Amino acid sequence: MNTKKTKKSPVAAACSALGTALLILLIVICLPLTVPKAFHYHVYTVISGSMEPAIPTGSLVYIKEMEPKDVQVDDVIAFYGTKDAASIITHRVVENRVLMGEFITKGDANATKDAGLEFVFASYGFGNVDEYQYKIEKIEDLLEL
């Protein structure tokens, strides 16, 4: 048995090393997206500035499902904006109404109430709003503001 090893050319060795490095880089880049799913976390991208500066636009948020009764005030939660919408909203819990089956949430940057500014609610909107100074039911209502 004559086993003779042949020496790789420098170009082949460089290509092999580069390919290995790129593969390792690809795996490292994909880890933040794949590993959390193995532990039952959902990964979402924040597309608005409603939670800035705590969560900047473009950030990835990792959400783990939990029972509504376990959600505390000041927890940040993610939820569907409307029943038919596919958009996910990430806001801070202001009040947990467990018996009513709802949360009152607010984005950190949505400071109209804190600043004493008037909040206008469009009644064709996307959910329930408890407090507002004006209600818009038809376009003519804008002229009265």
Q: Which of 16, 48, 50, 87 is catalytic?
A: 48
- Residue 42: name the closest of 90, 75, 7 by CA: 90
8 A C-beta contact, residue 77 and residue 93:
yes
Q: Is 123 a catalytic residue?
A: no
Q: Which residues contact 68 (CB under 8 A, 6 or more apart)?
A: 96, 98, 101, 103
Coil vs helix vs strand at 110: coil
- Residue 94: name the closest of 122, 129, 124, 53 by CA: 129
Q: Return the active site residues.
A: 48
